[in-house]
Structure 1
């Protein structure tokens, strides 16, 4: 199974939406709070972006919530995370 990692903050509505979408699909994820400068720098280094959420499927950078929602609308989350079970 591919590890899903999401960099978030507690006050971000897009982070809450991303967590809600993944929870509804039953996708487990590791949440990393970026309040620490070191963690925020790690996120920027990995993603090239400064906004949250930043979501990774393994080492693949999905992007933010809008990117995740687009991937879901195309059936891509299932294809990436469960390639044998997708359509």
Structure 2
């Protein structure tokens, strides 16, 4: 099984939206707060982006909240992840 990781700040409304969407699908995730410079730099290094949330399913960078909701609207997050879970 893969680990879902979400880089966050508690004040971001997009983070709260991503959290609600993942929760509604029953997908467990690890939250990493980017308040420290080292953690923020880690997020930017992994994602190439400076905004939160940044969401990873295993090593696959899903993107931010808009990317997550687009995956969901295109037929479901679960179906999009099945091939990645097997590999």
Normalising to structure 1: TM-score of the pair? 0.90
Q: Which residue of 1 aligns with 2:64?
A: 64
The answer for the alignment partner of 1:15 in structure 2 is: 15
Q: Number of matched residues? A: 83
Distance verdict in 2 for CA 1:75–1:2, change over 3 Å? farther
1:39 and 1:64 mapped to 2: Cα distance? 17
Greater share of helix: 2
Structure 2 length as normaliser, TM-score? 0.90
The Cα RMSD (Å) is: 1.2
Q: CA deviation at 1:77?
A: 1.2
Structure 2: runs of 5 or more not aligned = none
User: Could you list the runs of 4 or more consecutive aligned residues of structure 1 that deviate by over 3 angstroms after TM superposition?
Assistant: 80-83
Conserved 8 A contact 1:2-1:81: no
